[in-house]
Homo-oligomer: A and B are copies of this chain.
C-alpha cells in the first residue's frame, strides 16, 4: 500500500482544486449558473491562474521557512529573469520576485529544517550568477498565501 499523501500534497500545492460553485452561490445569494458563468469568465480571460491548497507546512515536512535576498553577479544584471526562471522549477521555492534596492531577487524557501535548508542552499544557491545571499529565517508564520494561520 503506497502512501498517497506526498503525491497528493505535491499536486495540491499548485493546483488540483476547483471552486465550490454552489457554496459560493449560497454565500453570495446568487444562482449557481450565474456564479458558474462569472468564474468561467475569469478563467477564460486569465484572471484566475490556479486553484490550490494551503497547508500547515510543519505537518508536511516544510516547517522551516526562509526568505533569501540574492545579489547577482554583474554579468547577470541585464537579465535577472534567466536565473529567476531557473530557480522557479525547484519545489522548495514558494515565491520568486525581482526586487528594487540592494538585492536583485527575493525568494521564499520552505524546507523541513535548517539542515535541509543548508543542503538546498549549497545545491541551488551556489550556481554561477548568484554572487551573494542573505537569509531571513521565519521564526513564526502568522499569515501565508492570504490565509491566516
Contacts and interface: CB of A to CB of B under 8 A. Distances in A.
Interface of A: 4-5, 7-9, 11-20, 23-24, 27-28, 30, 34-35, 38-39, 41-42, 45-56, 59-60, 65, 67, 80-81, 84-85, 87-88, 91, 93-101, 103, 106, 136-149
A80 B143 CA distance: 14
Nearest to A92: B146
A148 B19 CA distance: 20
A9 B47 CA distance: 9
16 contacts: A4-B30, A8-B35, A8-B38, A17-B52, A47-B55, A52-B145, A52-B147, A80-B140, A84-B140, A88-B143, A95-B141, A97-B136, A97-B140, A97-B141, A97-B142, A103-B136
A56 B65 contact: no
Nearest to A60: B47
